[in-house]
Amino acid sequence: MDELWSGYLLPGGIIVAQILALLVPLLVIVAFLTLFERKVMAAMQLRLGPNVVGPFGILQPFADALKMIFKETIIPTGANKVIFLAAPMLTFILAMIAWAVIPVGAGLVIANINVGVLYLFAISSLGVYGIVMAGWSSNSRYPFLAALRSASQMVSYEVSMGFIIISVLLCVGSLNLSKIVEAQRTVWFALPLFPMFIIFFISTLAETNRHPFDLPEAESELVAGYQVEYSSMSFGLFMLGEYANMILMCGMTTVLFLGGWLAPYPLPTPVWMGPFWFALKVTLLLFVFIWVRATLPRYRYDQLMRLGWKVFLPFSLAWLVLTAAVLVYFDLAPKTVM
Amino acid sequence: MIVQALAFYLFAAVTVAAGFMVIAARNPVHSVLFLILAFFNAAGLFVLLGAEFLAMILVIVYVGAVAVLFLFVVMMLDINFAELREGFLNYLPIGLVIGGILLVELFLVLGAWAIAPEAAKFASTPTPPVEQIANTHAIGQVLYTKYMFAFQVSGLILLVAMIGAIVLTLRVREGVRKQRISVQVSRTREEAVALRKVEPRQGV
């Protein structure tokens, strides 16, 4: 009995508590990100934005959530039911489980695994399945077009993202996300790898299907793309997953390029300040996400493909070779094993 | 240890079941989705073995890229299922022979370790033990030194395959107006806009 308690129940309980401590704030942040986006966009377009529910419209996300929960889930007759219902769940689950490896502070990570970057890359590359499955199983034209667009778009931009991640890894010598952050104590990688930082950010825009690359849900041509047939909470899960993915991608950019939980000044900071700096950097990146949405028109599809394959891919490949050459020539490459 | 054993049996059972469903499912899209499930569980088995790098690469390469393209193609195909199943008995012997050969080879590989214990030692010598080094480093150490030639050759084969696919599908159509970004961007006001004096009732 004692062994059962110390060997299984206690560690299991601790892990569950850690997961809840991460996911509950995350879901609250996701809810308020929708409000943040509407408020920021409204300010940029000289409107007021939501201001009725609660003071300054602060309770708007809860009103939206309640409305969504109480609506009826409609499954189209021609739809493939299992896949149709599995697709939003998959999108949501993938957006959640990726957070297991993101370090929000020194030692504040659920799973400090050796291949953290690869895990993140793997999970983010799976995001396409939610959209493809939704598009195919809806058995309708617009969602299907969106699924095709999304599949080729996400595969295209992953390639250059992979090269960018490799050039960061060359500077660190480890795939562990905490070690990547620690390696940025002297200088954040956004400075020495500056063009890669920008390309990575743009690629994350494409990877999360955000403006100006939101062709999978282009509302003016595909109505709402892969979400057309979804209603109620199955649509809500897509929304939640999409916004959680945005935060995840911003977190990934923060860890890889903006020094993660490190403070922008070189003084020693208490551990509890780590999540604060992390959240601040992520919020800044999210603001840019919204800023881009309010500013830029949508890309045409051939422009999107050209940017991914003919501009980003050669450039990131060349920069990868350059990074490796500089590291070797000036003998800067990390020596320590593991 | 119980948890690990349970996890192994779970992953293994789902892998085998999903693998069976890949060939048994009536709908090709379902087949691809079961294939993805099988890949996932195989990755789980790799993690249990302590080969987390291989697990992640399996998910990134096969699930994240190859299976997406599979799904992409299968979704767009208009397949006649009855026609597809007609030739089943014709191809059954060939399939059985190939499957049998693979099975025998697997038995030979694994059986060799039981028959000749020194073979197992030979297989595990190139890298230090798992406790001393992360398997990402271990793979890097042998892949880019000892097996450099094989690595380069496999890259070359992939390149040839890629060029072959491009050559097979490339077609040059006449009279297609293409985007020429540099020309379009470097257009000036003088060559793009012309001011004309238009007489009434005459047109340009």
The predicted structure's pLDDT at residue A338: 46
Task: Quote the minimal CA–CA distance from B84 to chain A in Å.
Answer: 21
Q: Which of A132, A124, A129, A131 is nearest to A164 (CA)?
A: A124
Q: Say what the ipTM of the complex is.
A: 0.82
The predicted structure's pLDDT at residue A285: 92
What's the mean pLDDT when you consider all of chain A?
86
B69 contacts A114? CB cut-off 8 A:
no
Q: Which two tokens stand for residue B116?
A: 């000749």
A253-303 pLDDT per residue, tens: 999 998 888 888 777 777 778 888 889 999 999 999 999 988 988 888 888
Answer whether A207's CB lies under 8 Å from A124's CB. yes
Closest CA in chain A for residue B34: A83
Interhelix angle A141-172/A232-257, rounded to 10 degrees, is: 20
**Residue range B132-152: mean pLDDT, rounded:** 82
Q: Helices in chain B by DSSP H: which ranges?
A: 2-24, 28-49, 52-57, 67-76, 81-86, 88-115, 117-124, 135-143, 148-169, 181-185, 189-192
Reduced to 3 states (helix: H, G, I; strand: E, B; else coil), residue A108 is strand
State the Cα angle at A245 between A240 and A246, rounded to 5°: 100
Closest CA in chain A for residue B132: A338
What's the mean pLDDT when you consider all of chain B?
83
What is the band of A316 on the pLDDT scale with cuts at 50, 70, 90?
A: very high
A176-227 pLDDT per residue, tens: 888 888 888 888 888 888 888 999 999 998 888 888 888 877 777 777 777 8
A115-148 pLDDT per residue, tens: 888 899 888 888 888 888 888 888 888 888 888 8
Share of chain A above pLDDT 90, in %: 16
Q: Which positions 75-94 of B are in contact with A (Cβ < 8 Å)?
A: 75-76
Closest CA in chain B for residue A86: B33
Does any CB of chain A come closer than 8 Å to the CB of residue B57?
A: yes
**B126: number of Cβ within 10 Å:** 14
- Which residues partner with B113 through β-bridges? none
B174-198 pLDDT per residue, tens: 888 887 888 888 988 888 888 888 8
The predicted structure's pLDDT at residue A274: 83
Answer whether A104's CB lies under 8 Å from A274's CB. yes
Which residues contact residue A260 at a Cβ distance below 8 angstroms, ignoring those fewer than 6 apart?
A103, A177, A180, A181, A184, A254, A278, A281
Task: Using CB atoms within 10 Å of the CB of residue B26, give its burial: 0 to 12 exposed, 13 to 18 middle, 19+ buried.
Answer: exposed
The predicted structure's pLDDT at residue B118: 67
Chain A environment of B181 (Cβ under 8 Å):
306
Answer whether A106's CB lies under 8 Å from A261's CB. yes
Does any CB of chain A come closer than 8 Å to the CB of residue B133?
A: yes
**Residue range A323-327: mean pLDDT, rounded:** 90
Cα-based distances in Å from A126 to A199, A261, B90: 21, 26, 37
Chain B environment of A3 (Cβ under 8 Å):
none
* Maximum pairwise Cα distance, chain B: 100
A114 contacts B134? CB cut-off 8 A:
yes
Distance CA B71, CA B50 (A): 30
